[in-house]
Structure 1
Amino acid sequence: MTMTRRTLVALTAAALPALGAASAAHAAPPGEPRVRGAEALARARVAADVLMSDYDEDKAWFPSSWWNSAVALQTIGDYMLRSGDRRYLKQLDRTFERNKGPFPAGELSGDELYGNFTSRAIDDSGWWALTWITAYDLTQEPKYLDMAVTIGEFMNDFWDPATCDGGIWWDEERTYKNAVTNGQWIRITAELHNRIDGDTVWLDRAQVAWDWYADSGLLNERGLVNDGLTDACENNGDRVYTYNQGLAIGAALELWRATGDAELLEAARYVADSALVEGALVADGILTEWTDVLGETTNDNHKQFKGIFLRYLMDLADTTGEDRYRQAVATQASTIWEDDRTIGDELGVRWAGASTEDSPNVFDWRTQASALSALIADLPDSGVRRSLSASLSRPPVVIPDGEPTSVQLDLDVALTSTASRPVRVGIEAEGPDGWRIEVAGSIDLDVPEDEGTPISTTLPVQVTIPAEADDGHHLVSVTATALGGLEFVARSEVLVARAIDFDGGTEDGPWLWDVGGSGVTDEPGRFADGTSFFVYRFPFPASTTAAELTVTISNQFLVDVGPDGETWTRVLAEDEPLRDASNRGDHTIDLTPYLGGEDKDVYLKVSDAFPEDGWGGQVHHVSAQYSGA
C-alpha cells in the first residue's frame, strides 16, 4: 500500500497538519444536543414511511429514475438494518425479482437495461451492486450477493490500465474516468471480499483500485474530491460533490476492514474532516451541495448526493465512536427535522430549509431518501428500547358551501418496545378556533415479541370545519403520549379553498386523489410516464350547476374526466410523440356534464399517450371556475 502512504500522508500533512485541528474547525455547533434514541427512531420511521408511499408496487421502483431508485432502496435497507424494522423487505425482493431482467430504453426512464441491473452507465450499475449487498446483509440470502458479484464482474470489464494507468470508466463509451464510479468500485470490491469466504480476487481488485484512486489526483490539496480526470489524466478541477466525498470515506473504511491497515482508517478521517471544515462542504454547520444555495437550481441527480455522504459518515462515526462525527450527524438530523420538513413530514433538498418564491426548496422522494439517511445516521448503533410515532393523513380540499363541512383524517400510531406487554397511548387533538376535532382519548397497543417491527393501529379523526372558515391552510395536530416520556406530534393541514388555482408539482398536493406513480420535474410540473398516471379531485359544492377547468399541459398527454374516479371520458390527447414541451398550452374543459354525482366531485386523470418512450403528460397549472343555482 505504498501509494496510499505516500499520497495520503503527504496530503494530510499539507492540508490538515493535525486531525485534532481539523475537528476543531469542523462545522458542528458546540452544545447541539443529540435527540434521544426513542425520538430519533420515531422520526426515521415516519420519514421512511413517507418515502415508501412513493414506491411503485407495479414497476417495483421509485418513479422516473433508475439510479436514484437504487440509492433510495439502499436507504430503506439502511433503515431496516439500523432500526430492526423489517416491514419493507418484500419491496426490496419485489424490486429484485421484477427488475433483474432486460428492459428497452425508456421503460424505466433511462438507458436500455441489459439485465442483472446493468446498463451503459457503469455508475448506475454500481449503485445497484451496493443496494443488493445491503439486501444480503439484511437477509443473508445468497441471491443478492450473487447479483452484486455479477454486477461487479460487469464493472470490472471497464477497468482500463491503458488510460491513466487504471481506473473504471464512467460509461460504456469510455469517455470519462471519474470519482463516483471509482469510489463505488473500491467500496463494492472490498464489501464483496468481506462477505465471500476465502476470497482473494476481490481483495486484490480493491487494493489495486485504492492505490490507483489515492494516486490519481482526484483528491485535491484541500482533501476534497473533484469530479473527475481530464483527457490528460489530471484533476479536472470540476465541482466537489458531497457524494464523491462520501464514497471516498466509505471506500477507505471498507478496505480498512478487509486489511486492518490503520492508514486507511486515517484516510477516511482525513477525507471526512476535510469536508466538514466550515466553508468546504458545510455552511453554518449544515451539509450544503453547491446547487442548494439560493438562486441555484438543483436537479434530480443532485437531490440524493448529501444522503450518500451521510451514509458513509454514519459508518465512520460507528467505526471510530468519535464524538465529532456523531455531533456532525446530529446537527444534520436536528436541522432537517426542525427546518426542512413539511406538515406532512416530507423532507426537502435544502437541509437548512431556505426557500424563496424565486428559488423554492424542493420536496420529492429523492430529497426524502437523502434526508432520511441523516435521520438513520442519528439512530444509536446500540439500538433503541422503546419508540412511539404517529402520522396524520392528508385530508381532501374543502370548498365551503354555506354549511359546516366534515372530513375524516386517519391517525396512524406505531409503537416498538423490547418488552412484550400492553401499552396505553394517550391521544390529544388540537385545531383552529371554532373547529371541532373528535378522536378517541386513548388506545391500548399489545406489543409483539418481535421488538423491531412496530405494532400499529389507525384511528379516525373527525374534523368539522365551520362554514365561515377563511381560505388557506389550517393546521390540525394530534399528540400521542405513553409512559416513559414517549411523545410524538402528528400534523396535517386542511386546505379551505373557494378558488381553484394551483401549479402542478408544487401546489397540487391537496388536490391529488391518486399519485399513481407520477413524478415532479425541476421546472414546476407533475408528469406521468409509461404506465403511471395521476388524478386530481375537485370537490365542488353541492349547489354547483356549472364548472369549467383550464389546464396548462405539455408533452405526450392523455386527459380523462369523470364523476367518480373510476369511469372516464377522454377529453384531450396528444397525437405526436413530442419530448420538448413545444406543445405546451392552455386547454379549457367543460366539467358541467360530470357534475351528476350527489357530491358534485369531478376527477381529472393525466397519463401517457406514448407509454413506450417515457415522455408522458406534464401539468404545469390548473385553474377552475364554478357557479351555482
Structure 2
Amino acid sequence: MKLEALRIRVRTLLVAAALAVTATATKAIEPVYPTNPRVDGSTAVARARVAADVLMNSYEPGKAWFPSSWWNSAVALQTIGDYMQRTGDRRYLAQLDNTFEKDKGVFPPGVLSGDPLLGNFTSRAIDDSAWWGLTWLQAYDLTRNPKYLDMAITIANYVDGYWDTSTCGGGVWWNAERTYKNAVTNGLWIRLTAELHNHIPGDQQWLARSRTAWAWFQHSGMINAGGLVNDGLTDACTNNGQNVWTYNQGLAIGAGLELWRATRDPAILASVRRLADAAIGPNGLATDGVLTESCDAATQTCDDNGKQFKGIFMRYWTDLVDTTGDNRYAAFLEQQAQSIWNDDRDAAGSLGTRWSGATSDEHPNVFDWRTQASALSALIGNVPIPTPMTSLAATMSPAQPVIMPAASGATAIAMDLGATATGFLPLQTLISIDVPAGWNVSPRAAQSRLQPHGNATPVSGTVPLQVTVPSSATDGHHMITANLMAAGLHFTTQADVLVAHKIDFDTGTVDENPWLFDADGSQSNGVQNRFADGNAHFTYRFPFPADTTSAQVTLTIDAEFVVQVSADNQHWTTVLQEDRRITDGSNKADRSIDLIPYLGAPANGSRPLYLKVSDAFPDDGWGGRVYHVAATIVE
C-alpha cells in the first residue's frame, strides 16, 4: 500500500507520542489504521478541489459574501480557509480579503444580515460575531497578516462583554438581549479564546478566560448523561432537553482540543474523548455509520441553519483525528467522505444535505451552497497530512445539460472537459470518454499535457467535446463518463444528460437543476420555492425541439416579479411584470406565456429559449418567487 494511502499524519504521530509518555517526552508509535478501503491522498485532494470550486461559484464578490446568510457566510469562508490550509491551494485568498475589507463596516438591517451590523463583524447575535472571529483567525493562519488577528481580538473583546456570572454562574449570552445561554455560543467562546492564546506569545488573559469557560461549560448541565450536548439551559439554569445538534457536539470537541493544546491537561483530552465516543456510539449522531442531523429524517427538511451543522462537526472531528491519531475516529471521518462522494453528489459536483443520499418526493435531498460548504468539510478532513503534492481532477461543462429531441434528426451538445492538476512534473493525461449506446462523442479518446507548478495555483486544461444524441433517445437521465489517467493518478467525472419531451418541475428541488441555467444570487429556502431579491435573478434554459410549432410555459409565481424571455440570453423581452408592491404572496397564481414569438431559429437540433425572473422593486427585498414551472409543446 502506498504511503499516502496509509494517511500518515506527521503532527498526529508527534502528538500521540507525547500523550503516550509525558508532555515533554517523545516516542515513536506504530499507527493502527482502519481496515475499510480508503481513497488515496491524491484523489482526496482532487475531490476537495472540485467541491471547493463549486462552493466558490456561489460567492458574491460585490457583497463579498454568500447569498442571504451572515453567519453561514462566515462558516463557509472558514471552510474555504480550511481547504486552502489543508491542500496548499491559495486561489481564494483574495475572496477572504475582499470580504474583510468590504464587510467590516456598519450596515443597517437587511443588507447583509437581518440584524443591524455594528462594525467589525459584530451584531446583537453573539454567536454570529464569534463565528467571524474564528474566520479571521483562519485567515491569519493562512497569511500572517496582523489585521486578521487584530480583528479576531476586537471581536473576542466584544463577545467577552456578554460573559455573565450573575446568571447560571457564568457563560456567554446568546444574544444582546441576554435571554438565553446555549451550547453553540459557549463552545465558540472556548475555542476562540483558546485559539487567541495559542496565537499570542506570552498571553495569559485569553487562556484564563478559556479555562474558566471550559470549567463552567463542563458543569453547566448542557452535557447530558449520555455524553451528548443539548442545545442550552432553561431559565432555571438546567439542561433544557432540546435537540442534540451535531454542531454543538462538534464545537464542544473542538473547544476542548484547542484548550488542551494550550494546557496539555490530560483531563481535558479525556473529556473530549468522552464527547467524541458519545457522538459515534450506539445512541449517538450517526445512522448506519453516516452522520445524520435530526432534520435529515425523510419526513423533515433542514432549515438554512441546520444545513451547515454537520460540516462544523466535521471540522472539529478532523482536528480530533489529527490530534489523537485514533483509528476509530479516522475511520468515521473516512466513512463520511466516502458516503458524500459516492451517494450525495450530483454530476455538477454539488453536495447535498443528507450525506447518505436519501431523498423523498415531499422532502427531497437539498443541494445549495450551504450544504456544499458543510459536506466539503468532510472531504477536506479526508486529505492526509502531509498533503500529497500531485493531484489530478476533472469536471465537465455543462454538467447537467437538457436535450429535447426533435421527432427526427440528432441533437448536438458542445461540452468541455476541464482538467486541473498540481505537482512539479508534467502530466501527460490520457482521456477516454464513454457515452450511452447509440450516442456518439468526438473525440472518444484524447491526450492533454498539464504542466503544474506546485499546488498554490492548480494548472488547468480543456478538451472540447461534441456529443450527438439520437432522436430515439429515451426520456430520463443518461451519463457521459470521462476517465483520466496520468502518472499513476486517475480521476473520473461525469455529465448527466437529461432527455425530456416535456417540462414540469417544482423549484427548489433536484428536478429543477438541469433547467436552471443561471442562479445568479437567487435563493431557495425550501421545496417549491425560488426567489430573486434586489439585483439578483434566475434564468431557465428550455432547449425546445427544432420542429416545435407551439410552446406555452406556465409559472406558478407571486411577489414583485419581472419575467423576461430571450432566444440568445442577450436580448430580452418583458412578458410579465407585477406593478404593485406585494409582499404577502396574495398575488400567487398560475400565469401562462405563449413562447412561439420569442423562439430563435433552429440550430443543432433545438430552438432554445431563456426565461429570466427578477425583482420589480429591487429596493424592498420581495422579488419574483416561482413555485412550479410547466410547459406544453406541440411538434
TM over 0.5: yes
Structure 1 residue 562: Cα displacement: 2.5
Mean Cα deviation higher: 610-619 or 257-266? 610-619
Shift of 1:161: 1.5
Q: Does 1:495 align with 2:493?
A: no
Give deviations 1:370-415, integer Å, cap 9, x for gaps: 1111111111122113211111122542222221111111111111
User: Deviation digits for residues 292-336 of structure 1, max 9, x if unmatched?
Assistant: 122122111111111111111110110111111111111111111
- Describe how 1:77-96 pairs up with structure 2 within 5 A: 77-96=81-100
The residue type equivalent to 2:310 in the other structure is K
In structure 2, the partner of 1:25 is none
- Classify the secondary structure of the residue corresponding to 1:583: coil
Quick check: 1:105–1:613 contact (8 Å CA) kept in 2?
Answer: no
Are the equivalent residues in 2 in contact too, given 1:107–1:613 (CA < 8 A)? Answer: no
Cα deviation 1:402-436 (Å, max 9, x = unaligned): 2111111111111112xx22211000000111111
Q: 1:465 is matched with which residue?
A: 469
**What displacement does 1:625 show?**
2.2
Residues 135-175 of structure 1 show CA distances to partners (whole Å, capped at 9, x for unaligned) of 11111111111111121122112111221121111111111
- C-alpha spacing 1:570/1:104, structure 2 compared with 1 (3 Å): farther
Residue 598 of structure 1: how far off its partner (Å): 5.7
| Partner of residue 611 from structure 2, selected from 589, 593, 604 | 604
- Displacement of 1:554 in angstroms is 2.3
- Confirm or deny that 1:411 pairs with 2:417: yes
Q: Does the 8 A contact of 2:567 with 2:599 survive in 1? A: yes
Structure 2 CA distance for partners of 1:441 and 1:546, relative to 1, 3 Å: same
- The 5 A counterparts of 1:554-573 are 554-573=558-577
Superimposed CA distance per residue, residues 440-468 of structure 1 (whole angstroms, 9 cap, x where no aligned partner): 511111121x2343221122111111122
Q: Structure 1 residues 81-90 or 581-590, which shifts more?
A: 581-590
Letter matched to residue 497 of structure 2: V
Separation in 2, partners of 1:612, 1:312? 40
307, 310, 329: which is aligned to 2:333?
A: 329
In the alignment, which residue of structure 2 is the partner of 1:50? Answer: 54
Offset from partner CA, 1:27-59 (integer Å, 9 cap, x none)? xx9732221111111111111111112222222
Mapped pair 1:441 → 2:441 = no
* Mapping of residues 129-148 of structure 1, within 5 Å: 129-148=133-152
Distance in 1 of aligned mates of 2:225 and 2:308: 26
Q: Distance in 1 between the 2:496 and 2:324 partners?
A: 43
2:478 is aligned to: 474
The answer to whether structure 1 residue 292 and structure 2 residue 299 are counterparts is: no
Structure 1 residue aligned with 2:244: 240
Q: C-alpha root-mean-square deviation of aligned residues, in Å?
A: 1.8
Which residue pairs with 1:164 in the alignment? 168
Structure-2 separation of matches of 1:509 and 1:627: 24
* More moved, 180-189 vs 316-325: 316-325
Task: Provide the secondary structure at the position in 2 that maps to 1:520.
Answer: coil
Determine the structure 2 residue equivalent to 1:539.
543
Q: Return the alpha-carbon distance in structure 1 between the equivalents of residues 229 and 620 of structure 2.
A: 36
Q: Is the 8 A contact 1:278 1:284 kept in 2?
A: no
Matched, 1:617 2:617: no
Query: Match for residue 4 of structure 2?
Result: none
1:344, distance to aligned residue in structure 2 (A): 2.1
Q: Secondary structure at the match of 1:150?
A: helix
Distance in 1 (CA, whole Å) between partners of 2:312 and 2:400 is 33
Q: Deviations over 1:70-91 (max 9, x none)?
A: 1111111101100111111111
Partner of residue 259 from structure 1, selected from 263, 283, 287: 263
Which of the numbers 508, 511, 518 marks the counterpart of 1:505? 508
Partners of 1:451 and 1:86 in 2: CA distance: 8
SS of corresponding position for 2:617: coil
CA shift at 1:178, angstroms?
Answer: 0.5
User: Structure 1 pair 407/155, CA: closer, same or farther in 2 (3 Å)?
Assistant: same
Greater shift, 501-510 or 216-225, is seen at 501-510
Structure 1 Cα separation of the partners of residues 330 and 581 of structure 2: 51
Using the alignment, how far apart are the partners of 1:576 and 1:32 within structure 2? Answer: 60
In 2: Cα distance, 1:505 partner to 1:534 partner: 12
Deviates more, 1:295-304 or 1:536-545: 536-545
* 1:514 alignment counterpart: 518
Could you list the per-position Cα deviations for residues 467-520 of structure 1 after superposition, in whole angstroms to 9, with x for gaps in the alignment?
221222211010001122x11111011122221222212122222221111122
* Partner-residue secondary structure (3-state), 2:455: coil
Amino acid at match of 1:297: T
Distance 1:498 1:71 in 2: 41
**Matched AA of 1:504:** T
- Counterpart CA distance in 1 for 2:456 and 2:165 is 47
Within 5 Å, which residues of 2 pair with 1:306-385?
A: 306-385=310-389
Q: Which runs of 5+ in 2 are unaligned?
A: 1-32
Secondary structure of the residue aligned to 2:479 is strand
1:551 and 2:558 equivalent? no
Deviation at 1:369, TM superposition (A): 1.0
Q: Structure 2 vs 1, CA of residues 184 and 577 (structure 1 numbering), >3 Å: closer, same or farther? A: farther
Give the match's secondary structure for 1:444.
strand
Which amino acid in structure 1 is aligned with residue 499 of structure 2? V
1:397 pairs with 384, 397, 402, which one?
Answer: 402
Do the aligned partners of residues 159 and 576 (structure 1) sit closer, same or farther apart at CA in structure 2, a change above 3 Å counting? Answer: farther
Does the CA-based 8 Å contact 1:545-1:595 persist in structure 2?
no
Q: Which letter maps to 2:500?
A: A
Which residue does the alignment assign to 1:31? 35
Conserved in 2, the CA contact under 8 Å of 1:206 and 1:255? yes
Tell me which amino acid in the other structure corresponds to 1:445: L
Distance in 1, matches of 2:449 and 2:575, equals: 50
Distance 2:130 2:615 in 1: 30
**Which region of structure 1 is more displaced relative to structure 2, 394-403 or 122-131?**
394-403
Deviation at 1:582, TM superposition (A): 3.4
Change (3 A) 1:158 1:615: farther
* Aligned residue number for residue 230 of structure 1: 234
Tell me if structure 2 keeps the 8 A contact 1:395–1:409. no
1:295 match: secondary structure: coil
> Is contact 2:347–2:494 with CA below 8 Å preserved after alignment?
yes
Distance 2:594 2:346 in 1: 34
CA distance in 2, matches of 1:279, 1:608: 47
Q: State the aligned residue count.
A: 596
CA distance in 2, matches of 1:464, 1:347: 29
| Alpha-carbon distance in structure 1 between the residues aligned to 2:178 and 2:582 | 30
Distance (Å, rounded) in 1 between the aligned partners of 2:432 and 2:321: 38
Contact 1:438 1:462 in 2 (8 A): yes
> What amino acid does structure 1 have at the position aligned with 2:192?
I
In 2, Cα distance between the equivalents of 1:594 and 1:158? Answer: 59
Moved more, 222-231 or 596-605: 596-605
Taking the aligned partners of 1:458 and 1:445, their CA distance within structure 2 comes to 10
- Compute the displacement of 1:594 (Å): 1.5
**Letter paired with 2:209:** R
Question: Contact 2:246–2:285 (CA<8 Å) still a contact in 1?
Answer: yes
For residue 586 of structure 2, give the secondary structure of its aligned residue in structure 1.
coil
- CA–CA separation in structure 1 for the residues paired with 2:613 and 2:386: 47
On the 8 A contact 1:107/1:612 being kept in 2, the answer is no
Question: CA 1:353–1:595 in structure 2 vs 1: closer, same or farther (change >3 Å)?
Answer: closer
1:542 Cα deviation after fit: 3.2
Q: Aligned in 2, Cα 1:570/1:251: closer, same or farther, shift over 3 Å? A: same
Relative to structure 1, is the Cα distance of residues 320 and 422 closer, same or farther in structure 2, using a 3 angstrom cutoff? Answer: same
Match of 1:194 among 195, 198, 207: 198
Aligned counterpart, 1:220: 224
Equivalent residues of 1:395, 1:408 under 8 A apart: no
Distance in 2, matches of 1:465 and 1:562, equals: 25
Q: What are structure 1's unaligned runs of at least 5 residues?
A: 1-28
